[in-house]
Structure 1
Amino acid sequence: MAQVAAPPVAQAASAAEDDADTRDVTWTLDIAAPPALRTLLARYLDLSRYLATPDTARVPRGELMRLRQAAPAQARALLETEGYFNASVSTQARDNGSVIALKLLVEPGPRARVSQARVEFEGPLSVAAEAGEPAAVALVDRVRSRWSLPAGEAYTQDRWSSAKGEVLALLRAEGYATAGWSGTVAQVRAVEDRAALFLVADSGPLYRFGAVQVTGLDHVDAEAVQALQTFSAGQPLREQALLDYQDRLVKSALFDSVAIEMEPDPALADAMPVVVKVRERSLQQATLGLGISDNTGPRVTLEHLHQRVFDFPWQAKSKLQLGRTDQQASIDLTSHPLPGPYRNLISASIGQTDASGLEVTSQRARIGRSKDDERLERLYYLEWQRSLTRQLDNGLTVDDTSALSGNYQWIWRQLDHPLLPTKGVSLSLDTALGRSFTTTAQRSGVFGRLNGRLTHYATLGQNWYSTSRLQIGQVLSATDVAVPYSLLFRTGGDDSVRGYAYQSLGPSNAAGTAVGGRVTAVGSVELARPILARMPALWGATFIDAGNAAPDWPSYKAALGYGVGLRWRSPVGALRLDLAYGQQVRKVRLHFSVGITF
């Protein structure tokens, strides 16, 4: 039998009846669209939001029909934000008497792409660039080269907004603190699926540093705060200079908090005041610590810090450490920051350590100066030290040597995180030149010492991370010149060659006790990844280490250690637990440590 379509009057009457129907209905929604667009529509479409909310999951039939009728236009508006200006959207409904099944059909069509992007400037930056000022020309070129939505890229509202924000952020970071847009236009030709972008940035004035006002000082002198400045009045007020200044103040260990404020005022642009608000650390602090290491066993540590000892602008840090095989006492005096910025230091220590069958008593005194930048630490000092080494089993003296040396330490870091790096490089170099004085059979004489350590962190694909390290060191002297035990090389332990006891690798005496070598080389490769998705801070690792110390390079032979471990990436650094097999000793050893070494 042939079906006869209802006349228009009947269809209109049916729609009117649906609109007037106030009975609540149960309904479902199926969005037929590409996955990324389906997620967008499911999040923002009224039909989807109503269905996801318990209070509106059942609505009157008339309200549901209204939402259905509005859905295509609303969906097209949402798709336009993703660059689809010629989308075809329709709806279907199937009513089985108990549930109304709605379906949204989406054909997005081609995505609009940027046909051209033109960024122009006005204001002082434009004037300076047209006059040929190198800094202004370079900034204009940098803004245009970094424009993140160039011709050929897919146009979306988010990318358009983000690109505009990046330009203003760059201008403001380079001293144009009140930069804004005079006008921005995205001319979309929907028929051709393309968008032409035109922008004009008003730079506003170039702000320059004026007076720096410091508040919150008590036992720290204003001169110490000013010494950490690397900018001067009249220089362009760049955001990075302020961030670096704040970072140096925090790292000085003089303050609990540091805030730098600057309220841009075009009338003060030539000499913009900067306010530094600090909260000083307590004048005195005492810390009691308990720790354990597979290298030296359990230990108790007592530290005292005085921020202004005897009312001089010097910090005094005293430390007493008592362990099963390691006892140390030290005092470090560090001046408050000086222009440069530099800090002077004076320190002294005495300690006794049992390692590899030896009891080593060391005494040390040092005077020097340090300078720290954002990525670079430098320390140079004059040091006297003495090492008295005895065998633990019979008390016989193995070595009694002192030395006076000039030293230079250099540490450079380019890391994505200071405590938990996954990308970057760190490099440390130690050099020393001195003269030894001994009471043993060897003779006193001149010696040099070089030691370098390179560590590389990398991300390998999806959730795989690698750490590689290489250390090479050598004592430069005649073979019969005595060198203090503490300046010779020994390897083995959790930050050296795992699978071996702490400082157990290296030349040995007739009793089999490691006495230290004049050359060393250690290498390590480690792969790690999170174990569980719900616990991203817990990683599993596998590694191989190789290294040793020797009297000279011809007699050097690396010892291997390899195994597996766990890593917990805590807020204070990585906690490492390793189970390693030492191939030379044919034993399995457990290693435990916290933090990273540079």
Structure 2
Amino acid sequence: MLATKDKAEAGTDTAPIASAGRADGRDAFSLEVQSPDSKISDYLEQHLELQRYRQLDDLGANEVSRLMVAAESNARELLNTLGYFTPTLTLSLQETPEDKKAPRRVRVEVEPGPLTKVDKVAIEFDGAVADDPKDAAQRSGIRAGWRLPAGQTFTQSRWDGAKSTGIRALAAKRYPRARIKDSQADIDADAAKASLAVRYDSGPAYRFGPLTVSGAQRYDVDAARRIARLPVGQDYDEQKLLDAQLRLASSGYYDSVFLTMDTSEGVDPNAAPVTAQVREAPLQKVVLGVGFTSDSGPRVSMDHIHNQMPILGWRAVSKFSYDKNTQLLNTEWRALPDDSGWHWFDLGEIKRENNAGTYTVDSARIRSGRAKADGHIDRSVFAQYDYSMSKGVDPPPSASSLSINWGWTGRYFDNSAAPTKGMGLAVELGLGYTLLGERLPYTRAYGRWLGILPIGSVDTPTGAARRPRLAMRLEGGAVSAKDEAQIPQTQLFLTGGDTTVRGYSYRQIGVDADNGQILAGRYLGVASIEWQQPIVYDQKLTDYEGVLFVDAGSVADRPGNLQPKIGAGFGVRWRSPVGPVQADLAYGFDVKDVRLHLRFGFTF
């Protein structure tokens, strides 16, 4: 019976011993590992301590033989970490004077024996979590989520990972001072079984105390508390602390934010103070930007941010952007949130779209209402004025409207910048009234959904870091009104392009008029399915992924006239340090043409 107690994985230090090198340019010896499993051979060749001595210039056969004695013990330790506790090892030294790499070869033959399986697991708790009935679900969740259950192969890395996952789950709620009090893996090498035991000590339960702000000079400290909305008096929850930090960081008032709870000795756990260490953003700044998409070509933009407008004290963000399809100038003013997290906002915008169907649309928009961003959910309620004037051959008539709108967006992705799983859902509902021509009511509904589902695995010597995925996307919209209602073009639908239906140009899919024009329509339907496959090269997971996709979309003035236009193709994704870069080659079956689509970043 072999017992291991919090033992770190052996043999991971492979840094070579410094040496000037041999005069003939050859190593002192070469190493060859033979095993029925190539992964075992690769692992031993990479991690055996013997590798550190290959380049010593004065190492003879006798010295190599002495090193081989220690190498056998080292090899057994390494095999133990992989779950092989009864290996058969044969080490031999062969002279290879004609070999250009080394004058002798160390050969290690490995018969690994049976893999050790976990036989039973015992997870126990000490501290407040052990007896409190309200923690029953947390205790059960840690046991149910144990990552090395009975029947699985025992390895040192899996054992360490399972313990770490358990302590993170315990420390994430109520018990930030949780620790591993004791752990032990009893190995029955003859039976190839492992009995695991771990005991967690939760320490005392904590509640959020008052928030103090350190580093504030320019902006109101009380405003920071309202933005953070830390749930003072509630049980400690790591996610709630991160949410408060994210709200402060994304407010625009701070360049950096870091929240910590004081859990030191002597602090009352029932009111543990939280400190927000902030570095404030400048009062005003100008941001210049350039970009490129295959839909719109090069783009330049300029943003002006004023974090504390005179008199009002609101935050103003004004933007100008220009590309071949869209020229935009807008400004949005936002008040500080109240204690509930809601804030007032106003927006004014003028825009020209040069490729809205086959005509140009000049539009204006004024919006005023209330909004709230709460973690992964955004909400808004607002009144809006829209005006549009179309130019071109037989364009739609000018139109304007007033509407009352409600919007809701939920983002449930594992990573907001480059998600690998999760979903997003957005819904908009509006009730409007036209102001030009015959004055008539209308309703507008719009929704979009994106789901990313991991499927399968990618096998590498170090394990699967990213899984293949299926990304599914749906989008739909409807404007309901009498035929004679003059609806502003900005309230109607067009589709096609990099982010909708690939294989078609920007907003190329609309209502096909009798005169050959493409017009915005009252109904929209889009669906897409995409397979995303991480690329492995030389047994290593790269930052690239290959994709296959099929998109379909349609726009019509009546639901029964929706006829999907399909695009399909393949592409590549690069997970760059600053966000995903996407390149897709798609064929549009309706236009019978191939288009290259380029895009940077992810948004939902």
Common fold: TM-score over 0.5: yes
**After superposition, what is the alpha-carbon deviation per residue over 1:224-247, rounded to whole angstroms, capped at 9, x for unaligned?**
221234543332222222122212
| Structure 1 partner of 2:499 | 495
| Structure 1 partner of 2:305 | 305
Q: Which amino acid aligns with 2:399?
A: T
| Structure 1 partner of 2:441 | 446
Q: 1:249: Cα distance to partner? A: 1.6
Distance 1:293 1:114 in 2: 53
Q: 1:29: Cα distance to partner? A: 4.1
Distance 2:163 2:509 in 1: 59
Distance 1:97 1:558 in 2: 72
| Structure 2 partner of 1:143 | 142
Q: Which amino acid aligns with 1:447?
A: Y
Q: Which amino acid aligns with 1:31?
A: V
| Structure 2 partner of 1:370 | 371
Between 1:576-585 and 1:337-346, the stretch displaced more is 576-585
Q: 1:179: Cα distance to partner? A: 2.3
| 1:132-531 matches, cutoff 5 A | 133-134=133-134, 136-268=135-267, 269-293=269-293, 295-296=295-296, 298-310=298-310, 312-324=312-324, 326-355=326-355, 356-389=357-390, 391-393=391-393, 398-439=396-437, 443-459=438-454, 461=456, 465-507=469-511, 511-527=515-531, 529=533
Q: 1:278: Cα distance to partner? A: 0.8
| Structure 1 partner of 2:556 | 550
Q: 1:40: Cα distance to partner? A: 4.3
Kept after mapping to 1: 8 A contact 2:344/2:369: yes
| Structure 1 partner of 2:122 | 118
Q: Which amino acid aligns with 1:505?
A: I
Distance 1:570 1:68 in 2: 44
Kept after mapping to 2: 8 A contact 1:508/1:515: yes
Larger radius of gyration: 1
SS in 2 for 1:496: coil
Segments of structure 1 that go 5 or more residues without pairing to the other structure are 1-23
Kept after mapping to 1: 8 A contact 2:211/2:230: no
Distance 1:96 1:193 in 2: 38
Q: Which amino acid aligns with 1:117?
A: V
| Structure 1 partner of 2:464 | none
SS in 2 for 1:49: helix
Q: Which amino acid aligns with 1:176?
A: Y
Change (3 A) 1:105 1:472: closer
**After superposition, what is the alpha-carbon deviation per residue over 1:371-393, rounded to whole angstroms, capped at 9, x for unaligned?**
2233222222111122223x335
Q: 1:587: Cα distance to partner? A: 4.6
Change (3 A) 1:362 1:117: same
**After superposition, what is the alpha-carbon deviation per residue over 1:358-417, rounded to whole angstroms, capped at 9, x for unaligned?**
33222211111222233222222111122223x335xx7742322111111222222233
Q: 1:100: Cα distance to partner? A: 5.0
Distance 1:593 1:74 in 2: 50
1:31 aligns with 2:30: no
Distance 2:66 2:480 in 1: 88
Between 1:329-338 and 1:531-540, the stretch displaced more is 531-540
Q: 1:320: Cα distance to partner? A: 2.6
Change (3 A) 1:115 1:458: closer
Distance 2:300 2:162 in 1: 55
Q: Which amino acid aligns with 1:38?
A: S
Q: 1:279: Cα distance to partner? A: 1.0
Kept after mapping to 1: 8 A contact 2:582/2:598: yes
1:127 aligns with 2:125: no
Kept after mapping to 1: 8 A contact 2:471/2:529: yes
TM-score (norm 2): 0.83
Distance 1:172 1:507 in 2: 56
SS in 2 for 1:367: strand
Distance 1:43 1:589 in 2: 46
Q: Which amino acid aligns with 2:326?
A: D
Between 1:428-437 and 1:560-569, the stretch displaced more is 560-569
Kept after mapping to 1: 8 A contact 2:535/2:546: yes
Distance 1:540 1:190 in 2: 43
Q: 1:197: Cα distance to partner? A: 2.9
Change (3 A) 1:142 1:582: closer
Q: 1:333: Cα distance to partner? A: 0.1
Change (3 A) 1:495 1:267: same
Distance 1:190 1:566 in 2: 47
Q: Which amino acid aligns with 1:285?
A: K
SS in 2 for 1:242: helix
Q: Which amino acid aligns with 1:358?
A: Y
Kept after mapping to 2: 8 A contact 1:350/1:362: yes
SS in 1 for 2:352: strand
Kept after mapping to 2: 8 A contact 1:210/1:274: yes
Distance 2:362 2:410 in 1: 32
Q: 1:433: Cα distance to partner? A: 0.5
Q: 1:475: Cα distance to partner? A: 0.7
Distance 2:443 2:347 in 1: 22
Q: 1:342: Cα distance to partner? A: 2.1
**After superposition, what is the alpha-carbon deviation per residue over 1:316-355, rounded to whole angstroms, capped at 9, x for unaligned?**
1112334455332211101233322223211111223333
Kept after mapping to 2: 8 A contact 1:225/1:337: no
TM-score (norm 1): 0.83
Change (3 A) 1:40 1:329: closer
SS in 2 for 1:55: coil
1:594 aligns with 2:576: no
SS in 1 for 2:474: strand
Kept after mapping to 2: 8 A contact 1:42/1:49: no
Between 1:29-38 and 1:144-153, the stretch displaced more is 29-38
Q: 1:150: Cα distance to partner? A: 2.9
Distance 1:75 1:324 in 2: 64
**After superposition, what is the alpha-carbon deviation per residue over 1:48-106, rounded to whole angstroms, capped at 9, x for unaligned?**
4322xx126x5244433322334434433443344444334343445588955544344
Distance 2:33 2:594 in 1: 58
Kept after mapping to 2: 8 A contact 1:451/1:474: yes
Q: Which amino acid aligns with 1:151?
A: A
**After superposition, what is the alpha-carbon deviation per residue over 1:524-564, rounded to whole angstroms, capped at 9, x for unaligned?**
33445578949945555554433222121223323334455
Q: Which amino acid aligns with 2:439?
A: S
Q: Which has the higher helix share?
A: 1
Q: Aligned-pair RMSD on alpha carbons?
A: 3.2
Change (3 A) 1:455 1:173: closer
Change (3 A) 1:586 1:221: same
Change (3 A) 1:266 1:295: same
SS in 1 for 2:273: strand
Distance 1:30 1:295 in 2: 55
| Structure 1 partner of 2:9 | none
Q: Which amino acid aligns with 2:563?
A: K
**After superposition, what is the alpha-carbon deviation per residue over 1:481-503, rounded to whole angstroms, capped at 9, x for unaligned?**
22222112223333333444433
Distance 2:39 2:293 in 1: 51
Kept after mapping to 2: 8 A contact 1:508/1:514: yes
